A and B are shown apart, each in its own frame.
Chain A
Amino acid sequence: MHADPKGVLTGVHFLDGDHACCEGTLAAGARFAAGYPITPSTEVVERFASRIPTVGGIFIQMEDELAASIAIQGAVWAGAKAFTVTSGPGFSLMMEHIGLAAMTETPCVFVDVQRGGPSTGLPTLPSQADMMQARWGSHGDYGIIALCPNSPQECFDLTIQAFNLSEEFRVPVMMMMDECVGHMTEKVVIPEPDQIEVTPRRYTKLSPEEYRPFEPREDLVPDMARAGAGYRFHITGLTHDERGYPNMSVETQDRMVRRLQTKLEPLANGRALCETENLEDADVVVVSYGITSRVAQRAIQFARARGIRAGKFRLITAWPFPAERIRELAGRVKAFVVPELNLGQMVLEVERAAMGKAKVIPVSHAGGTVHNPDTILNAIVEAVR
């Protein structure tokens, strides 16, 4: 279906990534946000607080990130599309409820505008050091989706995608922005509402007597019900059977946990969002994401100017990681160069996928600013030597 025109600010704008992300939530149909102030993410909900009373919806500033990250889930089960926004320390506090959303298959969006860590770290400066936390931060086995925009335009576009994917797969989706992308101001084009595809929630068509809240469809995702619609269903964070009832059996645990991961498989490879350039003749491929991909772009240009056959592989869906795509490339390139604003996170996934068929060279950075393109260039030069 198309976007509800009430939330869509069609036109050409000059926006930073945080504000563009907010416009993305409204275009996607989000009408509920709960937040807690934290730099460098707060502008997203500040704009939402300003916009939502004239669109129709709720913004509530909660008492902490634990509250914000579960208030959105109450709103979702009442029928809303909902999201919360935070940065490192708040993201840490939200981990328990990312697990709850994964376990209860609650579609919702968590925006993390990454800053330097650990702990309070660098509140106003960038990093990309929450990537593993986004994937593994809550306890237990589960799957999530993480998207990495590298421009304000993508903060808008991918936020809509984030909501759509969360509805399609019934998972929490992480928008993994960073301080640079969040605070960078560029042209953002917001299309007409009828040019914006929005995925509606899939509610069950069964009667309350027939409906089982966790009975998966063929695509392994169950249909939803919402509170107040007469289904009188039960949702729990305990291991549960298809009825949604707690069940502590090994068989139920196995069936449920495996499905929480395998339902995302279609997105891992064939449908992975990525941006590639010059892979056909590449000897070395730079794998990057977020703001670092824009620095890497410069390094790749320098390398090409020197006659080095360098290619680009930009992760847009970081999770599920597109392992098959990397594995396929590993069979025909000499090396991968992986710059990121952390001491080596997604590079581990590249290594895992490459299975030793190509060298994998990390270009780590502790955060606080972006790489110097020359540093990445040096790694490219080294890789093909």
Chain B
Amino acid sequence: MTEATTVEIPEGAQNPVEPFLRMDRMPHIWCPGCGIGTTVNCFTRALIDSKANLDKVAIVSGIGCTGRVAGYAHLDSFHTTHGRAIPFATGMKLANPELKVVVYSGDGDLFAIGGNHFIHAARRNMDIKVICVNNMTYAMTGGQSSSTTPAQVISATSPYGAFEPTFNLVALAEAAGASYVARWTTYHVKQLSRSMEEVLKKKGFCFIEVLSPCPTLYQRRNKMGDGLDAMKYYKQASKIRNGAPTGECTLSKSGEIVVGKFVDRDRPDYLELLRAQMTESLGERYVESEASCSC
């Protein structure tokens, strides 16, 4: 990991991340105490520290509170349909491999309605970076249960308490074939920024889960306090265990939160596999894709 560089505040700006945001769209829609803005701050820091050419970074979101991130990022940004950010990103990456394509969306979007796309993109080792802000609820629509809502939690659609078993996102990502898997909370801003910087530089399918508070809809119903209380919980309950077996990293309503980088492996990505197979089968007849030049 590289040390974060010192960032100058640009002239006329009040914050170093301003050039990375569409300031003409502020104020944003997120509630006080919500963690999504914190993750966006970490992401902009990662963009700065990775020294990525921002003209070549595209960000794709689905639908939901986190789905609004693409709309605030001053990048080529695409706010797509519910659950389908990953296949959109897949098409974009394959048509122009020089782009770094980041998918930024929530737990409901990526793992309920979009779960099939997630496992297939991981299986293919598609060279896209998926950041999931997990607030354990459908926040945009009023706080319904998602596939990550822990047992006992009261939600708008589980008024007597959730009881369905949940997805362990990091285990799912590893099992499906992701090259990089990490989990942090919005308390771990330094670590999260570094993980985001790492995935911007890493090839293949990379996944970061960020636990993030939703005071308005999740915590209020469950008498879990406000955004600050969530930070206290994250601070007290989190255990950094880099390399921990992801199968042991299940989350619960108020139990231990295992965070860290769990998987960092090198596998050939989709385009490398494609090129190798076509070269083996077709030899000199194979013509490298020039999809992005066809117009």
Contact = CB atoms under 8 A, between A and B. Distances in A.
Interface in A231-281: 231-238, 245-246
A79 B25 contact: no
Interface string B120-162: 1000000000000000000000000000000000000000000
Interface in B71-107: 71, 74-81, 83-84, 86-96, 98-99
Contacts of B96: 78-80, 226-228
Chain B CB count within 10 A is highest, among A55, A63, A76, A237, for A63
Given A54-B285, A231-B76, A32 B94 contact: yes
Contacts of A238: 79
Chain B CB count within 10 A is highest, among A67, A236, A245, for A67
B163 interface: no
Contact of A34 (B80, B91, B120): B91
A335 interface: no
Contact of A82 (B24, B91, B293): B91
Interface in B232-275: none
Given A54-B285, A228-B96, A230-B55, A236 B79 contact: yes
A232 B95 contact: no
B282 A62 contact: no
Give the interface size class of chain B.
Answer: 35 or more
B79 A237 contact: yes
A79 B91 contact: no
A58 B94 contact: yes
B77 A201 contact: no
Interface string B20-61: 001011000000000000000000000000000011101010
A115 interface: no
A71 B79 contact: no
A53 B117 contact: no
A73 B94 CA distance: 12
B99 A228 contact: yes
Contact of B287 (A56, A167, A233): A56
A227 B57 CA distance: 8
Contacts of A96: 81
B99 A227 contact: yes
A70 interface: yes
Contacts of B91: 32, 34, 60, 70-76, 78, 82
B288 A70 contact: no
Contacts of A72: 91
Interface string A41-83: 0000000000001111110101110111011111111111110
Contacts of A77: 76, 78, 92
Chain B CB count within 10 A is highest, among A57, A70, A235, for A70
Contacts of B81: 70, 96-97, 100, 237
Contacts of B83: 66
B84 A67 contact: yes
B291 interface: yes
Given A70-B91, A79-B96, 13 more contacts: A62-B120, A64-B116, A73-B91, A76-B91, A77-B92, A79-B291, A227-B99, A228-B96, A232-B75, A233-B76, A234-B78, A236-B79, A238-B79
26 contacts: A31-B289, A31-B290, A32-B91, A32-B94, A57-B291, A58-B291, A60-B90, A63-B87, A67-B90, A71-B90, A74-B78, A74-B91, A75-B95, A75-B291, A77-B78, A79-B295, A80-B96, A96-B81, A226-B292, A227-B92, A227-B96, A228-B56, A228-B58, A232-B76, A233-B77, A234-B79
**Nearest 9 pairs between A and B by C-beta?**
A74-B91, A71-B91, A74-B92, A75-B95, A67-B87, A78-B95, A236-B79, A78-B96, A56-B287
Interface of A: 4, 6, 29-32, 34, 53-58, 60, 62-64, 66-68, 70-82, 96-97, 100, 167, 200-201, 203, 226-238, 245-246
